[in-house]
């Protein structure tokens, strides 16, 4: 539902409030910005996340300032933004950006059971590279103990999308200045093996899919 907090006020036609749009944008990336108030001042911290259904998961060290604060139930704002193109106008004033963004409001809660923590960590891992979790060693008891996982139910959220061309003032269309869109795409580069990688260890299936089959959701 649209709320006072989620309502897009600047150019309302770019606002979207349906789950399909919100989830599609969330699933196209794996880094969010989390904003909260800590000891009276605002803090924004980037972190990796994972989504399953209507829940967002994020994790970190048990001693993390952010996680220790958020588990107390403080209000937070989460943003994910994907930039799709530079919109270059004839005038400096009308330059813009094509983008897709989601903003979520709410409070996070601690995931306490080890089995639930493992499942949440798998979801976060799959958000980065699908199927990688099955190829690596799972966290042991010590690692689970020093890791906190929080969950945020997505109940108050909105998306904002700009997917348009140049909007110049009428009199500027005669200027001898190139105008148009420069697309922005996220791509993966050549693999750089770890210096301690054992000889003969092949690139795993999940990475081959990520690089060669381009299954990364943002592509």
Q: What is the pLDDT of residues 106-133, one digit of tens each?
A: 999 999 999 999 999 999 999 999 999 9
Rounded to the nearest integer, the mean pLDDT of the chain is 95
Residue 219 has pLDDT above 80, yes or no: no
Grade residue 213 by pLDDT with cuts at 50, 70 and 90.
low
Q: What is the pLDDT of residues 40-96, one digit of tens each?
A: 999 999 999 999 999 999 999 999 999 999 999 999 999 999 999 999 999 999 999
Lowest mean pLDDT among 62-66, 140-144, 188-192, 201-205: 188-192
Q: Cα(187)–Cα(130) distance, rounded to whole angstroms? A: 16
Q: Cα(54)–Cα(87) distance, rounded to whole angstroms? A: 33
pLDDT value for 194: 97
Question: Can you list the alpha helix ranges (DSSP code H) found in the chain?
Answer: 19-26, 65-70, 114-128, 141-145, 205-208
pLDDT value for 211: 86
pLDDT value for 12: 96
Q: Structural domains in the chain? A: 12-213 (2.30.110.10)
**Mean pLDDT, residues 151-161 taken together:** 98
Q: Cα(60)–Cα(78) distance, rounded to whole angstroms? A: 16
Q: pTM for the complete prediction?
A: 0.92
pLDDT value for 43: 97
Residue 215 has pLDDT above 50, yes or no: no
Structural contact between residues 138 and 149, judged by C-beta atoms closer than 8 angstroms:
no
Q: What is the pLDDT of residues 31-41, one digit of tens each?
A: 999 999 999 99
What are 149's two structure tokens? Answer: 């996982």
Please give the share of the chain, as a percent, with pLDDT higher than 70.
Answer: 97
């Amino acid at each position: 539902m649209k709320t006072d907090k989620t309502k897009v006020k600047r150019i309302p036609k770019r606002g979207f409030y349906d789950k399909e749009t919100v989830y599609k944008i969330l699933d196209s990336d794996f880094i969010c910005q989390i904003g909260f108030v800590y000891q009276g001042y605002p803090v924004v911290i980037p972190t990796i996340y994972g989504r399953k259904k209507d829940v967002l998961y994020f994790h970190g060290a048990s001693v993390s300032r952010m996680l220790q604060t958020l588990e107390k139930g403080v209000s937070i704002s989460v943003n994910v933004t994907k930039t799709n193109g530079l919109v270059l106008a004839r005038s400096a004033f009308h330059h813009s950006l094509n983008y897709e963004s989601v903003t979520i409001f709410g409070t996070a809660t601690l995931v306490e059971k080890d089995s639930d923590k493992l499942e949440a960590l798998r979801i976060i891992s799959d958000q980065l590279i699908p199927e990688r979790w099955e190829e690596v060693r799972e966290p042991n008891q010590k690692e689970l103990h020093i890791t906190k996982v929080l969950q945020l139910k997505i109940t108050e959220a909105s998306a904002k999308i700009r997917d348009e061309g140049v909007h110049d003032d009428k009199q500027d269309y005669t200027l001898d200045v190139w105008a148009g869109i420069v697309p922005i795409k996220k791509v993966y580069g050549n693999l750089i093996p770890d210096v301690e990688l054992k000889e003969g260890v092949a690139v795993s299936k999940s990475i081959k899919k990520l690089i060669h089959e381009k299954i990364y959701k943002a592509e």
